[in-house]
A = this chain, B = another copy of it.
Amino acid sequence: MTIHYYWEDLVPGSVRELGSLSVSAEEIKEFAEQYDPQPFHLDELAGRRSIYGNLCASGWQTCALAMRLTVTNFLNESSSMGSPGLESLRWLKPVYPGDTLTLKHTTIESRGMRRRPDIGLVRSSWEMFNQNGDKVLHMEGWGMFRRREPATAEEIERLNAERSGA
């Protein structure tokens, strides 16, 4: 795969539309049987009787669907080296069968790594919306990306100074 995006290309404030997908009742139940067998993720009737009012997707499936869009429309063309984790994850609305979900990625913050001049860190947000414009998912977290050019001696000096509080 060709790398189109290195750390330097992920500029704070930049927004990427990462596409959309639909989720079916069959996909919701299949995921739930394997990973989240709560009644309202497995069965229409149990869903209708729950506080969600209908069969709805596991929150973890919603995250996994956001990841599919992120990988296919961004990470697989980038120098991504993975993520240490998230600082926040909110399941804001249920995801129902037939929903069409659209993902928006915003680069919030960018910084070099003191000990790895070849790698940079990026803090991003992911917002997923359904076909009614309701936000169903909001996540914020860090990713690691290889740099096109390694950090300069000046940048490493500055990062060391920040680290030591000087």
Contacts and interface: CB of A to CB of B under 8 A. Distances in A.
A166 B89 CA distance: 31
* Most-contacted residue by chain B among A31, A67, A83 (CB, 10 A): A67
A45 interface: no
Contact of A85 (B65, B80, B90): B90
Nearest to A75: B38
A60 B51 contact: no
Contacts of A37: 68, 71-72, 76
A81 interface: yes
B76 A85 contact: no
A115 B89 CA distance: 23
A58 B38 CA distance: 22
A82 B57 CA distance: 12
7 contacts: A36-B67, A37-B72, A38-B71, A38-B80, A60-B63, A85-B91, A86-B88
Interface of A: 31, 34-38, 51-52, 58-61, 63-65, 67-68, 71-72, 75-76, 80-91, 141
